[in-house]
Structure formats: C-alpha cells, structure tokens
Structure 1
Amino acid sequence: MTTALITHPDCLGHVTPEGHPEQVARLERILEALEGKDVILVKAPLVAEDDLLRVHPKSHVEAIRAASPASGKVQLDADTWMSPGTLAAAHRAAGGAVRAVDLVLSGEADNVFVATRPPGHHAERETTMGFCLFGNVAVAAKYALDHHGLKRVAVVDFDVHHGNGTQDLLEDEPRAFFASSHQYPLWPGTGAAHETGPHDTILNVPLPPRSGGAVFRREYEEKVFPRVRAFKPDLILVSAGFDAHRDDPLADLMLETEDFAWVTERLCDLADELCGGKLVSCLEGGYNLYALAESVAAHVDVLIARGAA
C-alpha cells in the first residue's frame, strides 16, 4: 500500500508579517525536503462549511470570513494574522485533514501526512489563537465519527505547546480521546495533568523545560501509549508539531530528530495493533526551518516505510 502527502499551493498564500515564525518558508522547506519521496501527492480540497460547523459555531466561521482582507494584513489576536490568501489556506488546511480521513478509511492510502498551513491545534470554538484559525485535527476527528460512523477516534499531539484548541473542541465528545505532550510551563499556560475533561478522555502530559528525549520517550511509554491502547480507537490522528526540537526558537524541550522518528514508529505500531494501520498526521508547529524540514522528512520516512510494509 502507500503513503499520501496532502498539500496545496494556496497554503503558500497565507502571508504573515516579516519576522513572524509561522511563515511561508516553513511549507516551502518542508515540500523541498519531501520532494522525490515515494508518496501519492493529493491536493487539499477546500473544507465544506458543514464540516467546520461540527466543531465551530457559525459565528466563528463567519467572523473569519468577514475579517479576510482584500489587501494588506489584519491582526486577529496577539499572534494570528490574515492576508488576502489566508482564508483559502485555512480552508485547505481543514479540508486536507478531512480528505486524509477519507483516504485512509477508503483504503486508498495506509497513512497520510497533511502538509498545510496555517496550523490548527490552538483554535478554540470561537477564538483564533497561536497562529490558528480552525481546529483542523478536531474537524477531521468529528468528520470521521459523524460522517464515517467510527466508534472511537484518538488524537495524539506532540507539538511543544499544549493543544488547547483541540482539547476545547473535543473534550465534550466521549467518542474522541485526546493526548497532548507539551513543555510546561509554557504558552498558552494550559495543559496541566489535572485537566482530564468531563468524560476522562483528555490526557495532558506536561514536560519540564530541557527534559529531552529520554523523558519524552518514557512518558509516552508509561502514559500516552497505554491510554491510547485502552481507548481502542478505529483511527489515530496526529498533531505533528516539530517545535520540541532542540534548535527551535520558541521553546526548549530539547528533542532530537530521532525522537520524532521514534514516536512516529510507536504510533504506527499502535495503529497497526488497533486500527489496521489507519493513521493521519497533520502539520502543526516547528519554526527552525532546518530542524523542521529534517524532522518532517524523518517523520514521513517512517510513514512511508510502514505503509509499504
């Protein structure tokens, strides 16, 4: 079988101010690093509004649309900007995550990496935040549950920042399990271990600054993987942020590229064990361009190897 890579040129049209960490060059460098790899290239479609409305109220979707500028840039919050190309990019990012679910559940691909931007895991129900407009992975999770009729979906987020948006969007959904490992304390300040959600379907694994790969791996083996296994998901979704890398400028969790390859291998193991290998990975953070490209390439290399096995 095979690995699919979902992306779209529109995601290069989301332009942020000079010096902003979530820049066009992130996706350019990723696509350069993935060029020539054994993947099926799929263009991300525009998300259907009905799919956004599975997790966001109509007021949020309409507010984003109304804020879209005809020229220049507008600032939505302390960190999040829109340019004339942002709305299409955001719709492609969410639509790409939904398309990825279709591909793995139809058997057209074993696993998928969605290389789009802007990211999504900080977007709350009615709040843009942390470079994010829509909750891409949460949209995909609800789509898998409601449209495809899956019984359970698990989301694992290894971005260095807490996936507060995904938690907010999924914590009331008992069919979805969400695990987030993240540096703590660190922006956005959420993600304490006691945040477990009304259905005990939230697992937060705060990691101290500079804890490094050994601690990261131990916490996944002792906490994250057993909880995913116990939940018995029909599909595993991954919020793949690479800003926990030791060279990233926004945090200092001190992971190496090999740690991202390791966690990808172990998540693929779980997908093979629990749900026929069905795994969708969506790009989140990662802001050192070299470390990001190298880490994504390692992540996708594992997906390719596991898809071909």
Structure 2
Amino acid sequence: MLTAYLSHPDCERHVMGPDHPECPERLAALNDHLLIKGLLDCVQPVDAPEATDAQLLRVHDAAWLYRLQDLIPTEGYARLDADTLVNPFTLRAARRAAGAAAHAVDLVLSGQAPNAFCAVRPPGHHAGRHGGSGFCFFNNASVAVAQALSEHGLQRVALVDFDVHHGDGSEDIWAGDERVLLCSSYQADLFPFRDASPPAANVVLAPLPARSGGPAMRAAIETHWLPALARFAPELIVVSAGFDAHREDDMGNLGWSEADYLWLSQQLLAQAQASCGGRIVSCLEGGYSLSALARSAAAHLRVLVEA
C-alpha cells in the first residue's frame, strides 16, 4: 500500500490578498518539488472531501461555524483579524482541509493506507473551539483526532505539533482530555505568546529559545516528547506539521534544516511503529519560505513513504 496524499484544488482558491505569506503558491511549490523528486509517484493521490458539520462540531462550537459563514463575502475580502482574511472561496477551502484530515484517518484506520499526508490549506492549529485566528479557520488536525475517537473508537490518540508557532487552538480543544496526548514544540516569546506552563497533565510543551537551532530541538524532543509518547502508547499519531522553523523562513528564528525535520519525522515513525502499526496522519500547518517549505515537507513525506 502507498501513503495517501490528500489535497484538492479548492485549497488553492482561498486567498488573503496580495503578498500574504499564507498563499496558494505554498501548495504549488510543494507539489512541484515532490514531482521533481519523484515522490508523487510513490503516493496514492486522494481528493479531499469537504468536512461535514458533524465532524466540525466535534471540535468547534456552532456559533463559530455560523459566524464564519456570515463573514464570507460574495467578492473581494473580509477580515477576521489583523492577519487573517477571507475571500468567497475560504469556507470551501477550509472545509476541504478539515475534510482531508478526517478522511485520512478513515483511510489509515481502515487499512487502505499505511499512513497519510494532507497537503492542504488553510492551516488549522490556531483555530480553537470558539473561533479562528493566525491564518486558521478549522482545526484540521483536531478534526482528525476527533474522527479517530468518535468514529473508530480509539482510546489513545497523540496529537504532535511542530511549528515555529504554538498550536494554541489545539491546546484549547484537548487540554484535560485524557484520551489525547498533545505534544507541542515552538519558539518561545512568539505568536500566540503563551507561557511555558502546561495547562493540563495531557499537554507536553517544549518551547525553544530563538536561534537555538536543531540540536536544541532534538534534545527537547528526546527529553520531553519521546518518553511521554512511549508511556502513552498511542493507537494513532496525528501530526500538525509546520515547516516555518526552517532557517530560511522569516516567520520565526529557530534555525532548523531539512535534516532536523527528517530526524523528527523518524522519531515519530519509530513511536508509531512501536505502538500502533506505523499509523500516522500528518496535516500541513505553517511554512512560508516556498523553497524551504517544499524541501522540508518532502523530507517529512519521504519518511512516511519509506516506512
């Protein structure tokens, strides 16, 4: 079986204005690089369905769905916050991104794919139960976690978030839920500017100082994440995969490289192979330097393809 690669053209129709870093070209750059490297020949392409209201309402309240629907303009742009805009196609793109995550879980847990990568946008990990922010509208990875718990009866799902920004929306949704282990690594003192104290026992945080580089990340993962994941023994690992900690990405200043993303992906695969038959569902989050995003995501995907 081949890794499932979920995407949809609708994800490229969401636009937030000229020169916005979260742009359709992110997916185009990724796909072009994967094509050149031959990785698209090693996956099974799957069109992402739109998430249903039922799937979204497991992690978001109805008021947010109604508010977002009302915000969508018939033309031009409308503003959610200082950094996040919508156009007429945003809602459909957001539903495709969340639907990809849920469908990826179905494919992996039904044995139709060993693992899956969702090449989608908009990203999701800043979207909390009551609303979106930071380029995010629906929490795609959390929709995947809820799909595994509600539709497939899993009891232990790990949500692993690596991104230069902390996944505050995912933390809002899952903190205190003992069925979910949330592991998050991010640059300290950067948006969304949260402190480093875990809000609940099921949250493992590994904030990293600016300019700390890949060695600090590897040490933090080995110290904090890997022992917690081994104790938890997840039945599925869902990944919020952000690539904006790369040294070429000016969204942050952690200084990672493709080799760091490769190493991190290998650690997650090893845990998945130890506790859940290698089952991983990964969802694209950040990454705004187009070349660095493409190279880093390719390194991550190669680990899944070669599993």
TM-score > 0.5 by shorter chain: yes
How far apart, in 1, do the equivalents of 2:268 and 2:106 lie? 20
| Conserved 8 A contact 1:196-1:203 | no
Deviations 1:224-248 (A, max 9, x none): 0111111111100000000000000
How far apart, in 2, do the equivalents of 1:86 and 1:137 lie? 18
1:21 maps to 21
Percent identity (aligned): 48
How far apart, in 2, do the equivalents of 1:173 and 1:142 lie? 11
How far apart, in 2, do the equivalents of 1:223 and 1:3 lie? 28
| Conserved 8 A contact 1:73-1:83 | yes
1:99 maps to 103
Q: Which of 120, 124, 127 is 1:120 aligned to?
A: 124
Q: Secondary structure at the match of 1:120?
A: coil
2:197 maps to 194
Q: Secondary structure at the match of 1:59?
A: helix
> CA shift at 1:220, angstroms?
0.5
1:292 maps to 293
**What are the within-5 Å matches in structure 2 for residues 238-249 of structure 1?**
238-249=239-250
How far apart, in 2, do the equivalents of 1:20 and 1:254 lie? 22
Structural RMSD (CA): 0.9
How far apart, in 2, do the equivalents of 1:69 and 1:174 lie? 39
| Residue 175 (structure 1) aligned with residue 179 (structure 2) | yes
Q: Secondary structure at the match of 1:63?
A: helix
| Residue 143 (structure 1) aligned with residue 147 (structure 2) | yes
2:112 maps to 108
2:158 maps to 154
Q: Secondary structure at the match of 2:306?
A: helix
Q: Secondary structure at the match of 2:116?
A: strand
| Conserved 8 A contact 1:10-1:85 | yes
> CA shift at 1:222, angstroms?
1.2
Q: Secondary structure at the match of 1:292?
A: helix
How far apart, in 2, do the equivalents of 1:111 and 1:258 lie? 21
How far apart, in 2, do the equivalents of 1:183 and 1:265 lie? 21
| Conserved 8 A contact 1:184-1:209 | yes
Larger deviation, residues 170-179 vs 236-245: 170-179
| Conserved 8 A contact 1:138-1:166 | yes
**Unaligned segments of structure 2, at least 5 residues:** none
**Unaligned segments of structure 1, at least 5 residues:** none
| Conserved 8 A contact 2:166-2:187 | yes
TM value normalised by structure 1? 0.96
How far apart, in 1, do the equivalents of 2:176 and 2:139 lie? 15
> CA shift at 1:276, angstroms?
0.6
Larger deviation, residues 89-98 vs 170-179: 170-179
Q: Secondary structure at the match of 1:55?
A: coil
| Residue 207 (structure 1) aligned with residue 211 (structure 2) | no
1:12 maps to 12
> CA shift at 1:118, angstroms?
0.2
Deviations 1:147-195 (A, max 9, x none): 11001100111111000000001114220110100000111101x3322
Q: Secondary structure at the match of 2:240?
A: strand
2:80 aligned partner, one-letter code: L
| Conserved 8 A contact 1:155-1:237 | yes
> CA shift at 1:300, angstroms?
0.8
Q: Which runs of 4+ in 1 moved over 3 A?
A: none
How far apart, in 2, do the equivalents of 1:202 and 1:152 lie? 14
How far apart, in 2, do the equivalents of 1:141 and 1:295 lie? 24
Larger deviation, residues 102-111 vs 27-36: 27-36
Deviations 1:15-59 (A, max 9, x none): 111111101111111111222420000000000100100011111
**What are the within-5 Å matches in structure 2 for residues 218-233 of structure 1?**
218-233=219-234
| Residue 270 (structure 1) aligned with residue 274 (structure 2) | no
How far apart, in 2, do the equivalents of 1:193 and 1:228 lie? 19
| Conserved 8 A contact 2:127-2:137 | yes
